[in-house]
Chains A and B, each alone.
Chain A
């Protein structure tokens, strides 16, 4: 499945929700389900500090595809991270580099990715792309 097919799938999922409650309850459940990042990867090197919440992100290259793992201390942030990972993980560095993440806007979560939110998500997206650039030379 391409990245954009995955994004479209998530947009379709969110269309089912009637109000903000449903949407956030779903995000919270995603946050609770997200497999935790290995404790050994929760290092100060992998931490992305926001004013509001902390995010840990790691990326490994396996068979020329990037595998992301991430965690956050805030559950809503974690739910959004879960969506990001679903979209970007297990993909080639080149495809990640070329991706525009349009789903955030379409599912009405744009406010969480505003730079002023300072929850670490904006930096996380940047960092995910940085990993793709770094790994692209190794593919």
Chain B
């Protein structure tokens, strides 16, 4: 189907609402995406018609709900090109997935003297869990630096790699800079020294389907809410052999085979890693979100998003004193910027009054802010439903804000 942005916008009811008396211009997609009506309907539909706890229930509702929930897993499996459905683990979100690996895999596999490599552009959620487990196990955290454009210094990465490296954890697309990292090359190099790789795909999933087998990721994590699905559910993909040998992360219902007070044996994958009642409605809506994504023309969306990025970049650069932070050659539709003499928070407050939603601050990447010697940025992050007209509204609001503030 041909991509038409005005038609697509009709799928998202929130895009026609007003904020502070102005039509909403939503440019905070890096924080969370909006939801199409069919996803919203799927959540309400579950509670209206099928609400019941999944797995092991013999009654009809439980079976209907279980089937719909497991459909979400299968849809994700196909979408990310995983070999087995049990390699797809439902989590609470990206952060939860990283914590599961740092805790369960890290505790079983890291030893004193081992090294974990992350990058200077990581979100705090891909820094802190590794700091915690490294401290516990006496392992060392190493950091791949970025250049002034916000690209990873691959030569520095190669120097950091050694037989001590046990894990490389990195983001595929930077939430702050928009940089698209060469994950396939990074993974190949890590595998050469026998290290495993976790890819944080939080920002990737709104722009393109991850292909976990093509890049050969050992672990791949993301949340559904950034890909037009519900909050409170995410995915951890892991290679089957790695997940099988990994001890459970949490104990509870659903993850056991047999429990006695002396010993518990664990359930098979994926349930071994999914203790307790999950977010069922969100799991069911996951299937709908993937269907929705698959119904779109992604070749044309890529062109559209590239046009938005190029157009917005060009318009922003015309503003006096504005500097874009992150100018990688390969970049997703995320633009961070600072304006000389004007605080990002003040800009965010004023443009909001004109209906424009952007994010301001350090974007949970404080070490990256330190690298660039700044406190924070204003970030406009675009999704396929954004338009050039919205870029124009951002520019008008921004100019007015700068005028008021300087």
A74 touches B350 (CB 8 A): no
A24 touches B361 (CB 8 A): no
Interface string of B349-367 (1 = CB under 8 A from A): 1100100000011100000
Q: Pick the residue among A20, A21, A24, A52 that contacts B376 (CB under 8 A).
A: A52
User: Interface range on chain A: under 10, 10 to 19, 20 to 34, or 35 or more?
Assistant: 10 to 19
A74 touches B345 (CB 8 A): yes
B20 touches A28 (CB 8 A): no
Q: Pick the residue among B20, B343, B362 that contacts A74 (CB under 8 A).
A: B343
B350 touches A119 (CB 8 A): no
Contact partners of B291 in chain A: CB under 8 A: none
Q: Given A52-B345, A53-B345, A119-B345, does the pair A75, B361 have CB atoms closer than 8 Å?
A: no
Contact partners of A75 in chain B: CB under 8 A: 342-343, 346, 405
A107 to chain B, nearest CB (A): 15
A115 to chain B, nearest CB (A): 15
B353 touches A76 (CB 8 A): no
A113 to chain B, nearest CB (A): 13
Q: Given A24-B404, A28-B405, does the pair A76, B349 have CB atoms closer than 8 Å?
A: yes
B345 touches A24 (CB 8 A): no
**Does B375 belong to the interface (CB within 8 Å)?**
yes
Question: For window 3-33 of chain A, which residues contact chain B by CB distance below 8 Å?
Answer: 20-21, 24-25, 28
**Does A73 belong to the interface (CB within 8 Å)?**
yes
Bound together, the chains give a CA A52 to CA B348 distance in angstroms of 10
Number of interface residues of B (CB under 8 A): 17
B347 to chain A, nearest CB (A): 9
Contact partners of A119 in chain B: CB under 8 A: 345
Interface string of A61-73 (1 = CB under 8 A from B): 0000000000001
A121 to chain B, nearest CB (A): 11
Question: For window 327-346 of chain B, which residues contact chain A by CB distance below 8 Å?
Answer: 342-346
Bound together, the chains give a CA A73 to CA B347 distance in angstroms of 13
Question: For window 67-98 of chain A, which residues contact chain B by CB distance below 8 Å?
Answer: 73-77
Q: Pick the residue among B350, B361, B405 that contacts A52 (CB under 8 A).
A: B361
Bound together, the chains give a CA A52 to CA B353 distance in angstroms of 17
Contact partners of A51 in chain B: CB under 8 A: 361-362
Contact partners of B362 in chain A: CB under 8 A: 51
B84 to chain A, nearest CB (A): 40
Bound together, the chains give a CA A98 to CA B369 distance in angstroms of 40
Q: Given A51-B361, A52-B360, does the pair A24, B343 have CB atoms closer than 8 Å?
A: no
Contact partners of A21 in chain B: CB under 8 A: 353, 404
Can you list 5 A-B contacts with CB-CB less than 8 angstroms, sorted by A residue number? A20-B353, A28-B346, A74-B343, A75-B405, A76-B350
Sorted nearest first, the 8 A-B pairs with minimum C-beta distance are A74-B343, A74-B345, A52-B345, A53-B345, A76-B346, A52-B361, A20-B353, A75-B346
